[in-house]
Amino acid sequence: MGACVFVDHYEILQISPNADQQTIYRVYRIQAQRFHPDNQSTGDAQAFRRVSEAYEILSDPSRRASYDIEHRNARRRNARDLFEEANASQGVDVEKYKRQEILSLLYKKRAAHPEQPSMSLRDFEEVLAIPRQQLEFSLWFLKEGGFLTRSDSARHTITMKGAEWVESLVKDRETPPMPGITDGSRVA
């Protein structure tokens, strides 16, 4: 595939790289029917082309074998790139600040609009001017720590624990460590 962006055909078909030929065919048929341009409700010509191209490659055993080598290499590159990106300019202090900003926004939203206290990932992207990829870890961390909740509709709301932490910021005028967190790592 050269200098082009790697296309994950398994992801397009929403199947495992271990899927057998019958599964590939069955999933392709479902996706093709869903995205076919003649389908009035869910037709999408571009998605249909992507699904068809993925099927064309994955249904041919020799093309799939070649693609699988590229797929493994691309996954390794992505994992290495993610590791390097995480270790680059993004430090623990930056991450803590991001979490503080997210909770402060949710606190203000809850106080100003108690009838609609939640925010979406897109809202955070716009207000904080931080890309989605750099927000997802922070949101996961805050959710797992019990500082916010995430609804089925992907909207985030501050919890009482989160609100108390934001209030402690004002009281102390400095960023206290989050309970259970020392130097950016969880305490067992």
Q: Does residue 168 lie within any of the structural domains?
A: yes
Q: Does residue 2 lie within any of the structural domains?
A: no
| Cut 0.85: pTM above it | no
User: Which of these three, 54, 87, 120, is where a domain ends?
Assistant: 87
Report which of 166, 155, 86, 61 is spatially closest to residue 116, judged by C-alpha positions.
155
pLDDT for the residue 182: 47
User: Which of these three, 32, 54, 87, is where a domain ends?
Assistant: 87
Q: What domain range includes position 31?
A: 9-87
pLDDT for the residue 186: 40
pLDDT for the residue 184: 45
Shared domain check, 81 and 34: yes
pLDDT for the residue 173: 55
Shared domain check, 83 and 122: no
CATH number at residue 74: 1.10.287.110
pLDDT single digits (tens) 91-126:
777 888 889 999 999 999 898 888 999 999 988 888
Shared domain check, 65 and 30: yes
Shared domain check, 113 and 50: no
For each successive 10 residues of the chain (188 residues), what is the average pLDDT?
A: 71 88 94 92 91 94 92 76 56 84 91 90 86 89 95 92 89 55 43
Q: Does residue 4 lie within any of the structural domains?
A: no
Q: What is the DSSP string of 74-93?
A: HHHHHHHHHHHHHHTT--HH
Shared domain check, 99 and 166: yes
At residue 56, the 3 state secondary structure works out as: helix
User: Degrees (nearest 5) of the Cα angle 178, 183, 185?
Assistant: 80
Number of domains in the chain: 2
CB 161 within 8 A of CB 125: no
Q: Does residue 112 lie within any of the structural domains?
A: yes
Could you say which DSSP state residue 128 is in? Answer: H
CATH number at residue 103: 1.10.10.10
Shared domain check, 79 and 96: no
Residue linked to tokens 């270790």: 87
Shared domain check, 110 and 29: no
pLDDT for the residue 90: 57
CB 129 within 8 A of CB 161: no
Q: Does residue 3 lie within any of the structural domains?
A: no
